[in-house]
Amino acid sequence: MDLFYVFLFVGLVLFTVLIQIRSGTEELIPASALTDVDELKRFRVFRSNYLMVFCLMMAGDWLQGPYIYALYEHYGYTVGDIGHFFIMGFGSSLVFGTVVGALADIIGRRNASLAYVATYCLSCVTKHSSRYWVLMLGRMLGGVSTSLLFSVFESWLVAEHNRRGFSEALLADTFSKSVFLGAGLVAILSGLAGNVLVEDLKLGPVAPFDAAIVVMLTGGALVLNTWSENYGDPNSHRSLISQLALGLEAIRTDQRIALLGAMQSMFEASMYTFVFLWTPALSPNGEKIPHGLVFSCFMTACMAGSAATSILVRRHPPQNYMGLMYCASALTLGVPLFFHMERREPGFGGSSLVDNGAGGISISGKLQLLAFCGFEACIGIFWPSMMALRARYVPEELRSTIINIFRVPLNLFVCVVLYKVSHFPLSVMFGVCVGMLLACMLCQSHLDSLTLDEKQALPVTQGNVGEPLKRSGPPGGRASVIRAATHHGERAS
């Protein structure tokens, strides 16, 4: 194996450890934001419980990821059939995700978390059958589960965190650690565990899905026994249609929410597109790639980004650095544009740039790999920062509803990419990603100008580092007007 991969992985691990040590030695929150030492102790117990549940749920998802394609191949399905399975997953999230998000705000986030466990376990059970429509049903259930995973747990956390009276700075710290652990460390450990089950113990390609069931049921038991229920608005009795209508109205009337939705959709669309592009970008001429080690490099870089965010949010609100993060993301995904201006066939290219060692890639491939690790670090910054921004601006009673509405354009875009990705050269696809990331930067700039205008228009009455400023004007902007009107109408009826 080319030592380049080993040196890169070791370097990323050391860098991540150093950042994590630095994060742990700094004060958790500014002293001015903490008046009760017992509050910090209660918060740590609360955070540990949430992180344990979230990591178990993410482990259930990560255990499946590396083996879905392999399982379909094992059952003898063609590349076209497998593409249809994946389109069903994203299409299901597109169609049903918005509905289940709205239901979560109505029936309760704890109940919705348990629904995630039920639907994803059923999806895993279907993997024991090789029948086309059974597997297609499993992908549909998986799409619904994904929508729940990336909305209801965050919504429950924000509501419970606020109900217990913890500071917003602590919430941002929880988001950072959830990404560091759930999207980084757990991903690596799950990949290793799946490899042991399939390769070492020879349990077959379905074994990781059975392990995922056990892990998610364990998380479900914790939710059932330790979580209290919270709702979008426990005093309202809205129908599903009314909940969706209010979510759309909040997006339409509050520019801040609309801008957050645009940034979330475009960044995640770039991220999912990158998943389909990085392999052909690194080996356009069929060079051998150690995918497991490259995946570990990506996840470690993501962990480094989330660890750095834990430091950033203690010094600056996310809006202060998100624009720079989008710019850095665009630059990293812009690197392949220099190497893939033309469609190249396998075996074509300059032999002087090809490393013929086992697991070798060209020099251009190595440069791109470094850039891709930079993009993964930006992903590690994006997730906790975007969660913190959503916690600040998205109305509590509509949180799950709006988060899943944000995912509609994302899932639609990914379905189109899955269907048409082979029709375009890599330069076009990476160019689209760069364009969306630059658009995110413009959206963030507009959001900054809106919030700056609010700060100048309303007198500041109180504020701490990492906490929202309290002003004498209405607390929720236009979204609060929607809430007030809705509650008035419900009382009148």
pLDDT of 397 reads: 86
C-alpha 480/C-alpha 52 separation (Å) is 33
Over residues 423-472, the pLDDT tens digits come to: 778 889 999 999 999 999 999 999 999 987 666 554 433 343 334 434 33
Mean pLDDT of 308-321: 89
Over residues 150-173, the pLDDT tens digits come to: 999 999 999 999 999 888 778 888
- The pLDDT mean for the chain works out to 84
C-alpha 393/C-alpha 166 separation (Å) is 17
Q: How many residues are given for the chain?
A: 493
Query: Which residue from 440, 183, 418 is spatially nearest to 277, judged by alpha carbons?
Result: 418
| Run of H or E residues at 23 | helix 3-25
Whether residue 372 has pLDDT greater than 80: yes
Over residues 268-300, the pLDDT tens digits come to: 999 988 988 888 888 887 777 887 788 889 999
Over residues 183-237, the pLDDT tens digits come to: 899 998 998 899 899 888 999 999 999 999 999 999 999 999 999 998 876 666 6
Whether residue 359 has pLDDT greater than 60: no
**Chain position carrying tokens 């466990």:** 117
φ and ψ of 197, to 5 deg: -65, -40
pLDDT of 483 reads: 38
Whether residue 328 has pLDDT greater than 80: yes
Outline where DSSP puts E strands in 151-294.
Answer: none
Residues in a beta bridge with 471: 460
Cβ 156 vs Cβ 109: under 8 Å: yes
Outline where DSSP puts E strands in 104-187.
Answer: none
pLDDT of 346 reads: 40
pLDDT of 454 reads: 64
Whether residue 129 has pLDDT greater than 60: yes
Over residues 386-412, the pLDDT tens digits come to: 999 999 999 988 998 999 999 889 888
pLDDT of 206 reads: 95
Mean pLDDT of 342-351: 42
Instruction: Give me the amino acid identity at 261.
Output: G
Split at pLDDT 50, 70, 90, the class of 341 is low
Which residue blocks in 354-425 are alpha helix, DSSP H?
Answer: 363-393, 399-420
Whether residue 142 has pLDDT greater than 50: yes
Q: Which of 207-216, 313-322, 340-349 has the lowest mean pLDDT?
A: 340-349
How much is the pTM? 0.80
pLDDT of 139 reads: 95
Cβ 373 vs Cβ 301: under 8 Å: yes
Whether residue 66 has pLDDT greater than 90: no
Outline where DSSP puts E strands in 98-233.
Answer: none
Q: Under DSSP, is residue 234 helix (H, G, I), strand (E, B) or coil? A: coil
Cα dihedral: 378, 384, 386, 391 (round 10): -170
| Run of H or E residues at 471 | strand 470-471
Please tell me which of 14-28, 200-214, 337-351 the model is most confident about, judged by mean pLDDT: 200-214
pLDDT of 339 reads: 84
Burial class (CB in 10 A: 0-12, 13-18, 19+), 460: exposed
Whether residue 491 has pLDDT greater than 60: no
Instruction: Tell how far CA 338 is from the center of its chain.
Output: 28
pLDDT of 356 reads: 41
Instruction: Give me the amino acid identity at 208.
Output: P
